């Protein structure tokens, strides 16, 4: 018995867009965390819900960044094949920036006393 297979290669652009958006959201979380430590004005601006403090704004900005960049990049990369190795490298770099920004020995360098 023979099986007919009608496989079609799907474009990788939408996957790359989601991967890059995750990196952008992580980088924004790191940036917001570092800026909140460096500036009292930014810290107060990020208090969206008093019981939570500036964490509510930090995560809110990161989530908004993720979804906004995902939508924009999805529209740009829809139906296209992109250099996935490059997209992965950029996403991992953005993730590293985000992790560094939330690492206390790093963001404490910017604390205003």
The predicted-structure confidence for 99-113, as pLDDT tens digits, reads as follows 999 999 998 998 876
Segment 24-62, tens digit of pLDDT: 999 999 999 999 999 999 999 999 999 999 999 999 999
Strand, helix or coil at 109?
helix
- Residue 99 vs residues 19, 79, 85: alpha-carbon distances, Å: 16, 31, 21
CA–CA distance, 68 with 24 (Å, rounded to integer): 10
Q: Indicate the domain borders of the chain.
A: 13-110
Note the pLDDT of residue 2: 65
* DSSP string for residues in 11-27: PSHHHHHHHHHHHHHHH
pLDDT tier at 79 (50, 70, 90 boundaries)? very high
Prediction pTM value = 0.88
- Residue 63 vs residues 37, 48, 66, 70, 110: alpha-carbon distances, Å: 20, 14, 5, 10, 24
């Amino acid at each position: 018995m023979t099986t007919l297979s009608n496989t079609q290669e799907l474009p990788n652009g939408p996957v790359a867009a989601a991967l890059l958006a995750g990196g952008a959201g992580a980088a924004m979380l790191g940036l917001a965390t570092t800026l909140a430590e460096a500036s009292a004005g930014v810290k107060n601006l990020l208090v969206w819900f008093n019981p939570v403090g500036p964490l509510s704004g930090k995560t809110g900005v990161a989530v908004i960044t993720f979804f906004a960049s995902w939508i924009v990049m999805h529209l740009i990369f829809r139906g296209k094949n992109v250099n996935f190795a490059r997209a992965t490298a950029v996403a991992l770099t953005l993730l590293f920036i985000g992790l560094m920004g939330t690492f206390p020995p790093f963001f404490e360098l910017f604390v205003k006393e």
